[in-house]
Amino acid sequence: MTTPSTPAVNALDILRDRGFLYQNTNEEGMRQRLSGGPATFYVGFDPTGNSLHVGHLLPVMAMRWLQHCGHKPIALVGGGTAMIGDPSGKTEARPIMSVDIIDDNARAIQGQLGRFLDFAPGKATMVNNADWLRDLRLIDFLRDIGSLFSVPRMLSAESVRMRLETGISFLEFSYPLLQSFDFYYLCKERQCQFQFGGQDQWGNIVAGVELTRRLLGQEVFGATFPLLLKSDGTKFGKTAGGAVWLDTARTSVFDYYQFWRNVDDADVTKLLGFFTTLPMDEVRRLGSLSAPAINRAKEILGYEATALAHGHDEAIKAFLAAAREFGFADPDGQIETSSRIREADCTSASEDIPTVEISAADLTAGLGILALLVKAGLCASNSDARRLIKGGGCYLDDDRVGDEKLVISPEHFHAGIVTLRAGKKARKRIKLV
């Protein structure tokens, strides 16, 4: 992963230039504080699953830049707040999870964040708000914290207004009090002066800024990142097979690389700015390339994003494996880049296409093409698989599949292998064992 030299500019300017900032409580105050020496900031992560996915990575990349500029991140895993559930952006209440599941998820997420941030002593800290929220005394909390919140103002929050028609419980309604308490606690105990979060967290962040100011008499700051959408307006981070995960048991390194490699041309500049550390003049130059050269920019994006999540060696292997299947966009290295992708030996592309194993018993039981597409992770459901086949996008080796009722048999395999493809880019090697 390329890392530029420490910039001689304010961290806020870097975040703005790369597109990270959407709203903030006091931009001039933030600028002055960030130029006044190392500052501590925090970002919260909800442990409702045991893995981060690419939709979580925008705040993580912003944290990297702030840390690069000398500021200290606190990565907060919400082991306490997850017991309630944030209503922001949700149309219905989240399922209540057990404490054991929440704690297991929190530990998994903490491990993944360590790939992106430097947690050496004094560099960054991981905390779990279960450590201070689960032992709160209800009457004391309502008296000391609840008395400072206005119900009319809480009702005006977008996250609440969206839910008033479908119903919101007091449990979820109380969520902003706990998140606000997090900011107050971290400011008091760890001198944290900034909270950053997604666009949907604006109301919670503002509430935390105000609570901290009232209880400690200290100015603190909050800012949000934009909602990340693709150029067609759909949610970023989703594929036909579902979310793109950092956990390799859920999304292989190859598929992770391919997700980035196959983004729309119109999104390349934005995504290079967010998810790489390449200099912005290079980002803009690469993003302005026309087809077919823009495909080299997408190879660079795929490599850089994959190297962050899985390391340089795995990223190079995925790049070479994909290039062997689909061709190199710039085999002679004519397009200049500072990315370490240039170190790849393009004459030695590997065979590392993801493999899914099935047994003879699977075939005996009558494995259909719809089930195979789902089992291989190329489609999220049978209905998705059915649409793929009707659209002419399903292939076994080079043969298009037109029958959604096709049953897979040993005759489909050559030397125990068949390649299953969904569309032009997504494919899996199916191995009969």
Q: Among the options 13, 17, 200, 362, which is catalytic?
A: 200
**102 phi, psi to nearest 5 deg:** -60, -45
Inter-residue contact 352 to 317 (CB < 8 Å): yes
Q: Is 90 a catalytic residue?
A: yes
Q: Is 238 a catalytic residue?
A: yes
Q: Is 419 a catalytic residue?
A: no
Q: Among the options 2, 23, 48, 355, which is catalytic?
A: 48
Residue 334, annotated ligand binder?
no
Residue 112, annotated ligand binder?
no
Please report the DSSP string for 343-377 in residue order.
GS-TT-------EEEE-HHHHHT--BHHHHHHHTT
Q: Among the options 16, 31, 68, 94, which is catalytic?
A: 94
Q: Is 23 a catalytic residue?
A: no
Q: Among the options 212, 239, 306, 337, which is catalytic?
A: 239
Q: Is 191 a catalytic residue?
A: no
- The sign of the dihedral angle between the CA atoms of 58, 61, 63, 65 is negative
Q: Among the options 179, 224, 251, 306, which is catalytic?
A: 179
Q: Is 94 a catalytic residue?
A: yes
Q: Among the options 18, 33, 56, 71, which is catalytic?
A: 56
Q: Is 425 a catalytic residue?
A: no
Q: Among the options 238, 285, 312, 324, which is catalytic?
A: 238
Inter-residue contact 252 to 353 (CB < 8 Å): no
Residue 42, annotated ligand binder?
yes
Taking alpha carbons only, the member of 380, 414, 381, 374 closest to residue 397 is 414
Q: Tokens 């981070």 — which residue?
A: 237
Q: Is 53 a catalytic residue?
A: yes
**285 phi, psi to nearest 5 deg:** -65, -45
Q: Among the options 143, 214, 235, 425, which is catalytic?
A: 235
Identify the DSSP state of 300.
H
In our burial notation (b when 16+ CB lie closer than 10 A, e otherwise), range 389-402 reads beeebbbbeeeebe
Residue 257, annotated ligand binder?
no
For the annotated binding site, the residues are 42, 175, 179, 238
For the annotated binding site for L-tyrosine, the residues are 42, 175, 179
For the annotated binding site for ATP, the residues are 238
> Active-site residues: which are they?
48, 53, 56, 90, 94, 179, 200, 235, 238-239
